[in-house]
Structure 1
Amino acid sequence: MTASNAETDQARATDDRHRAGDDDGYFGEPVAAEYDDPSSEMFTPAAIEPAADFLAGLAGEGRALELGVGTGRIALPLARRGVEVHGIDMSRAMVARMRAKEGGDAIGVTIGDFSSTRAETTDGDFSVAYLVFNTIMNLTSQDAQVDCFRNVAAHLAPGGTFVIEVGIPELRRLPPGQSVVPYHTSPTRWAFDVYDTATQATSSNYVEVVDGRGSYRSIPFRYVWPSELDLMARLAGMRLRERWAGWGREPFTGESTKHVSVWEKPAA
């Protein structure tokens, strides 16, 4: 994706087409309408409360910026802890769902691509910025991910922190010659990830049969390694402060399936 300027421009243009447009890209109303699934593990108190506590501790008396704020899964609990939260998101449909919730109107939101959009606020810099639940992978080129770090650094106050929660690529599940990892199968629904280990491109794919009629949906991502994120942070003038296997500060090891990493902008 970074072999030439022409390829870089093409990758960015593809990113823009995927995430922009009146239909909010891949996260328009059809996805927004089903996103807040109470049966999903990501909406349990065990998933939400430790994340909000972790981020509130980093915010202190300052403000927080969520990239990909969506329907407010984390922003609203964080705001209830007394933290002023602002968000950036491309999807108007997702943001409208947050606005309909109690406290949703108190979250300032700037519509745009979080890799490059500046938050529309005049209240000063942020103490913490964060990307949760693999959202960094929605940026489908390395350049866009690097741009995201630089955009965050521009938003942070000196000494501020940037937090990312993201999974470790499951390449250990790929035997030689295989590029597909299924993670849900049933008589009416199949879900699987497809990996390209040469480019780090991946996609989540969904096939569903309802009343005898099938549908197919594919969402592209770019997986990223912890060490690669550390280098992106250095390019943006930040350094790794801590890395954990989860929001409860569990130790990060070679067997961890995800990480919560914190990078810090120099205090001076």
Structure 2
Amino acid sequence: MEHYGPETYGELNADVYDEWHAHLDPADAVRCLADLIATGPPGPVLELAVGTGRVTIPLAARGIDLRGIDASAAMVARLRAKPGGERIPVAIGDMADVDPGTDDRFAMVFVVFSTFFFLMTQDEQVRCFTNVADRLLPGGRFVLECPVPDVARYQRNQSVDVHDVGLDHVRLVTVRHDPLNQRFDGHHVLISGAGIRLAPVSMRYAWPAELDLMARIAGLRPRHRWSGWEREPFRGEGMYVTVYEKPAPATPTAEAPRTAPR
């Protein structure tokens, strides 16, 4: 999609993002992330693509030291307008850089709701993994919520789905699939009495095994993979949660004494 950048989705959709995703209850994600934080090393926590703070604000309300980064100033403005959102430090920038304006090391970095796939090339996704690993404390975790790609739903590499219907509106999602580049380009299309509104979105999907390889390249190891935030066994379809961990440095062992020659 020409002229589509890291900030495009947020800049064009910030005013309707919370309304369109009101059906997504973050309670399970907040509870699971809080448990993971409690069992990891002490330190601050960073959310990539923090958006309007749907997950970060309730996590911070638990007393956790939260930071964020997002490419869209409009989305961050929505976060800062919410109660508690103004107290969360957020940097405006590319989440692949993992740079919230400091050189802090993090106990956990997380990205939810498919947003990791907003990194549009494999190189950017690998760079994100590598930068996350560099900024994690030993024993720190990188947590991702992603969908298993469902490419079978596309006929002739395209689809149109109905997401919402009311007396005075209909919201559609139209997508073109590029299997060579593992890319979806599409629009949320809102048709109402006020006219037609287009909300573009582009994503570069990756399979679970590909994410595991990115983690290995970055020096992270898989710790958990669940089919949801309630830690259900992984089914191989739908949304899933993966937890990668940065290994602690090996503890040097004393060299065994050599036996004197006879």
Scaled to the shorter chain, the TM-score interval is: 0.7 to 0.9
Amino acid of the structure 2 residue aligned with 1:207: V
TM-score by length of 1: 0.83
| Cα distance in 2 for residues equivalent to 1:157 and 1:262 | 15
1:89 counterpart = 2:75: no
Aligned to 1:155: 135
2:182 to 200, 203, 207: 200
Aligned to 2:260: none
The structure with the larger Rg is 2
After the TM superposition, list the runs of 4 or more consecutive aligned residues in structure 1 that deviate by more than 6 angstroms: none
For residues 201-259 of structure 1, the C-alpha deviation after alignment (integer angstroms, 9 at most, x for no partner) is 112323333337434443111111100000000111101111000000001023x3121
Equivalenced residue count is 242
- The answer as to whether partners of 1:116 and 1:151 remain within 8 angstroms in 2 is yes
Kindly tell me: are residues 125 and 39 of structure 1, through their superposed partners in 2, closer, same or farther at Cα, counting changes over 3 Å? closer
SS at match of 1:19: coil
Gaps of 5+ in 2: 250-262
Where do residues 3-152 of structure 1 align in structure 2 (5 Å cutoff)? 18-19=4-5, 24-28=7-11, 30-37=12-19, 40-42=22-24, 44=25, 48-60=26-38, 61-121=42-102, 124-152=104-132
Among the aligned pairs, what percent are the same residue? 41
| Cα distance in 2 for residues equivalent to 1:196 and 1:63 | 38
Gaps of 5+ in 1: 1-10
Where do residues 227-238 of structure 1 align in structure 2 (5 Å cutoff)? 227-238=209-220
1:214 counterpart = 2:199: no
Kindly tell me: are residues 52 and 194 of structure 1, through their superposed partners in 2, closer, same or farther at Cα, counting changes over 3 Å? same
SS at match of 2:31: helix
Kindly tell me: are residues 213 and 33 of structure 1, through their superposed partners in 2, closer, same or farther at Cα, counting changes over 3 Å? closer
| Cα distance in 2 for residues equivalent to 1:214 and 1:35 | 17
- The answer as to whether partners of 2:13 and 2:199 remain within 8 angstroms in 1 is no
- The answer as to whether partners of 2:67 and 2:90 remain within 8 angstroms in 1 is yes
For residues 179-198 of structure 1, the C-alpha deviation after alignment (integer angstroms, 9 at most, x for no partner) is 12322165744212221112
- The answer as to whether partners of 1:58 and 1:127 remain within 8 angstroms in 2 is no
